[in-house]
Chain A
Amino acid sequence: MKQIEMLAMILAGGRGSRLLDLTNKVAKPAVSYGGKYRIVDFPLSNCANSGVDVVGVLTQYESVLLNSYVAKGGLWGLDTKDSGVFVLTPREKADSGLDVYRGTADAISQNIDFIDTYNPEYLLVLSGDHIYKMNYDKMLDFHKAQNAAATIAVMPVSIEEASRFGIMITDENDRITEFEEKPAHPRSTLASMGIYIFDWQKLRALLVKDMQDPDSEHDFGKTIIPQLLANGEKLVAFKFEGYWKDVGTIDSLWEANMDLLDNDCELNLDDPYWKIYTEDAVALPAYIGPDADIDRGYITQGTSINGTVKNSVIFTDSKVGNGAKIIDSVLMPNVTVGDGAVVTRALVADGVTISAGAVVGSADSEHITLLAKDV
């Protein structure tokens, strides 16, 4: 196998249980987003666009759909001779039984053999459920210039939000001096984005030890990063500016979709030089009927709109009937809204049918209504 400079591992094993019924059947990275994408398209497209062309995807929870999806490496152009997307599920090995991944670090540890076949100098660890565009090659340049053992991508968050994240305290040269996981009283607002570049040999040594430790949580944030700091290794923070979202809840997933309706949305999915690739729908262009009324919509091909769409995102193959009203809502793929139905401040899951005249959601609800069953 040809030695490569940097290999990426995408952690995609989580359920995302706060997404409720949306992740009953699919893992969070496979959840649909932005009209035509799945969340995992973002790290995969970022890898492809950054020239990181060997990517392992670590899956575990409800992974049938996710595994078959990411195995189509050609969707992201990762199907040349020296590139590939590899689905890595927990497996039984000659010297150990079948173990589930016990944590984010353990998922990497259990695939050391895979990583070793490429013998990379650097390992890029990503999360499969974040929405953002980032050039990992620039982050690698920074990592090399700093001569660090590990580089962690960070972004500034508000002080109120800071207690939800892993928070970095850095010196004036971006060197991380302390790390606090979800601190009650944050002393910094630099949040970890869950994007790491490691010197592979240093990380490998640590992982081998961590695997043997029965008390370890086998987690990057809780175990590996503190361990590297304790060992006196140089850890640096790579400051990211731009759009980044961890869509953990129905409200935040809805909001991330709504962001796309903004003229100046920082995510800009229309950049011809940093496209986000996904499975192409074999479908007609969007059909807008003679009685349709569209007032701010983000609408993709395969849809058919015969009613009113106001401030909403309509995914592939969804149909809006005559006189139906879709207001401040997200219709995921293959949703059918019957004539005269009204959908307000709701997120409607894949394949749901809303019968004629039904009313879903309300304008003054505290939270976004998730509709995952036919009504």
Chain B
Amino acid sequence: MAKAFGIITSSVEHKVEGLQDYRPIGGFSFLGRYRVIDFPISNFSNSGIINLQVYISNKPRSLAAHIGTGRHYNINSKRGSIQLLFPTEEKLNPIYNTNIQAIWENMENVSRMPQEYVVIAPSCMVFKQDFDEFLQGHVASGADISVLYHKVHHAKSGYNTCHTLSIVDGMVEGISLNLGDEDERNISMETYVVKKDLLVKLVNEAREISSMYNLVDIFRAKSSELKVRAVEHTGFFAPITSLKSFYDANMELLDPAKAGDLVTPDWPIYTKTNDSCPTQFYDEAEIKNALVANGCEIHGTVLDSVIGRGVEIAEGAVVKGCYVSAYTKIGPNVKLENQVVDKYAEITHENVITASKDCPGYIKYRDKL
């Protein structure tokens, strides 16, 4: 049995314009056929950590339907488990919607886990990490908490709801919100290993201090008393914390070298199959630099874009630099540039909708244009 169970937090502290109106970040479509939460769940599954608790704070429908029994994550159906945990108390004010509160409301479920350690990962960040290696390193180090971080070089222009770590000799000396004052920053990946008993203690203590505390706040408050070890992550890392970061992450993964590094045969990313047939590219279609999921019918032009399942793109339509979510219909001669199109949207009138790469547009779920 693995020494740890896993917690996937609901990432309520991050706000993504548009997409998040309909589902939590973990439920966002990603790279055409995945959802963001497939990445942390697959990381756990591939690491042999097969008892998972997924915290869902609001709009649970899409995530609950997607995760279901968890069979598709290659988790042993007898010894493994994926438990979906929901808020049990009415929140009179969104300030109370914290990840500490979510754990506290389900504390019995945490306390009774037989594993000594817990690995905590956010539902909103896309990366590949062997959590078992992370756990073993933590146990060997003698630290109280280990936290993963990623060195970024452009923190001024993004990561604005993320936290940065100041690190001295591999230990965390300070945690603060990214204020965008420096480009070179160690961004916290909100991924921790901690003993279960310490987590329970810290959650209880946090509630004594403030009902608005998230995990990061109690770790920060206790960082002088506790040994908090920082572990650097390398490779692809994309926190989905704004529409721009969602868009950029998908566009970046059009580079086959980056996508091939994130999703490898020995580190598969599992998702729920939809049993859609292959995609049909017709005579008039023109496709360059695109990732195209199954079940699409492509008559038009697709350039530098990610196309989700079952999308129809009519003759004469031009889709350039877009993220097109599943079951969208794009009509004849429609021109779309640098847009994030949410599921089931139908753009059938002869529209020209463009935006800049720096500020991609968003077309609403089920919208008709």
B289 touches A289 (CB 8 A): yes
Number of interface residues of A (CB under 8 A): 36
**Chain B residues whose C-beta falls within 8 Å of the C-beta of A270 in the assembled complex:** 276-277, 295, 297
Scan B269-280; emit 1 where CB is below 8 A from any A CB, else 0. 110010111111
A182 to chain B: closest CB distance in Å?
34
B288 touches A290 (CB 8 A): yes
B285 touches A294 (CB 8 A): yes
Scan B291-304; emit 1 where CB is below 8 A from any A CB, else 0. 11111010000100
A296 touches B33 (CB 8 A): no
What separation, in Å, do the CA atoms of A282 and B269 have in the docked complex? 7
A286 within 8 A of B: yes
Number of interface residues of B (CB under 8 A): 36
B31 to chain A: closest CB distance in Å?
7
A278 touches B279 (CB 8 A): no
A101 within 8 A of B: no
What separation, in Å, do the CA atoms of A282 and B45 have in the docked complex? 14
A36 touches B277 (CB 8 A): yes
B290 within 8 A of A: yes
Scan B247-265; emit 1 where CB is below 8 A from any A CB, else 0. 0000000001001000100
B292 touches A286 (CB 8 A): yes
A288 touches B278 (CB 8 A): no
Stretch at the interface among A8-16, A63-71, A225-233, A297-305: A297-305
Scan A263-282; emit 1 where CB is below 8 A from any B CB, else 0. 10000011000011110101
What separation, in Å, do the CA atoms of A287 and B282 have in the docked complex? 17
B256 to chain A: closest CB distance in Å?
6
A285 within 8 A of B: yes
What separation, in Å, do the CA atoms of A35 and B270 have in the docked complex? 20
What are 23 residue pairs bridging A and B, where the CB atoms are less than 8 Å apart in the complex? A35-B278, A36-B294, A270-B276, A270-B277, A270-B295, A275-B276, A282-B268, A282-B269, A283-B263, A284-B259, A285-B33, A285-B294, A286-B291, A287-B290, A288-B288, A289-B256, A290-B288, A294-B285, A295-B283, A298-B281, A299-B292, A300-B279, A301-B278
**Chain B residues whose C-beta falls within 8 Å of the C-beta of A285 in the assembled complex:** 31-33, 291-294, 306-307
What separation, in Å, do the CA atoms of A204 and B33 have in the docked complex? 48
B277 touches A269 (CB 8 A): yes
B287 within 8 A of A: yes
Given the interface pairs A282-B269, A295-B283, A301-B33, the reply to whether A287 lies near B291 with Cβ below 8 Å is yes
A292 within 8 A of B: yes
A304 to chain B: closest CB distance in Å?
7
What separation, in Å, do the CA atoms of A287 and B253 have in the docked complex? 10
Q: Which residue of chain B lies nearest to A283 when distances are taken between CB atoms in the complex?
A: B263
**Chain B residues whose C-beta falls within 8 Å of the C-beta of A260 in the assembled complex:** 278, 280
A residues 250-270 near B (Cβ < 8 Å) are: 260-261, 263, 269-270
What separation, in Å, do the CA atoms of A287 and B256 have in the docked complex? 8
B293 touches A301 (CB 8 A): yes
A291 to chain B: closest CB distance in Å?
8
Scan B96-138; emit 1 where CB is below 8 A from any A CB, else 0. 0000000000000000000000000000000000000000000
A80 to chain B: closest CB distance in Å?
13
A→B interface (CB under 8 Å): 34-36, 74, 260-261, 263, 269-270, 275-278, 280, 282-292, 294-301, 304, 309, 313
Q: Give the top 3 A-B pairs by smallest Cβ distance, nearest first.
A: A35-B278, A280-B273, A269-B277
DSSP majority for the A interface? loop
B282 touches A296 (CB 8 A): yes
Q: Which residue of chain A lies nearest to B289 when distances are taken between CB atoms in the complex?
A: A290
What separation, in Å, do the CA atoms of A283 and B293 have in the docked complex? 10
What separation, in Å, do the CA atoms of A289 and B256 have in the docked complex? 9
Q: Which of B268, B282, B286, B287 contacts A263 (CB 8 A)?
A: B282
Given the interface pairs A34-B277, A35-B277, A282-B270, the reply to whether A288 lies near B283 with Cβ below 8 Å is no
B285 touches A287 (CB 8 A): no
Extra 7 A-B pairs, beta carbons < 8 Å, given A286-B293, A288-B290, A297-B281: A36-B277, A269-B277, A275-B275, A276-B275, A277-B275, A285-B292, A298-B278
B292 touches A34 (CB 8 A): no
Q: Which of A276, A278, A296 contacts B283 (CB 8 A)?
A: A296
What separation, in Å, do the CA atoms of A151 and B281 have in the docked complex? 40
What separation, in Å, do the CA atoms of A278 and B290 have in the docked complex? 25
What separation, in Å, do the CA atoms of A299 and B282 have in the docked complex? 11
Q: Which of B32, B279, B286, B297 contacts A299 (CB 8 A)?
A: B279
What separation, in Å, do the CA atoms of A35 and B293 have in the docked complex? 13
A301 touches B294 (CB 8 A): yes
Scan B317-356; emit 1 where CB is below 8 A from any A CB, else 0. 0000000000000000000000000000000000000000
**Chain B residues whose C-beta falls within 8 Å of the C-beta of A269 in the assembled complex:** 277-278
What separation, in Å, do the CA atoms of A263 and B284 have in the docked complex? 12
B270 touches A34 (CB 8 A): no
B31 touches A284 (CB 8 A): yes
A36 touches B278 (CB 8 A): yes
**Chain B residues whose C-beta falls within 8 Å of the C-beta of A280 in the assembled complex:** 72, 273, 275
B278 touches A299 (CB 8 A): yes
A298 touches B275 (CB 8 A): no
A300 touches B278 (CB 8 A): yes
**Chain A residues whose C-beta falls within 8 Å of the C-beta of B263 in the assembled complex:** 283-284
Interface centre among B281, B288, B295 (most CB of A within 10 A): B281
B33 touches A299 (CB 8 A): no
A300 touches B294 (CB 8 A): yes
**Chain B residues whose C-beta falls within 8 Å of the C-beta of A300 in the assembled complex:** 278-279, 294
**Chain A residues whose C-beta falls within 8 Å of the C-beta of B256 in the assembled complex:** 287, 289, 304
Q: Which residue of chain A lies nearest to B306 when distances are taken between CB atoms in the complex?
A: A285
B278 touches A34 (CB 8 A): yes
**Chain A residues whose C-beta falls within 8 Å of the C-beta of B33 in the assembled complex:** 284-285, 301
A292 touches B287 (CB 8 A): yes
B281 touches A299 (CB 8 A): yes
**Chain A residues whose C-beta falls within 8 Å of the C-beta of B32 in the assembled complex:** 285
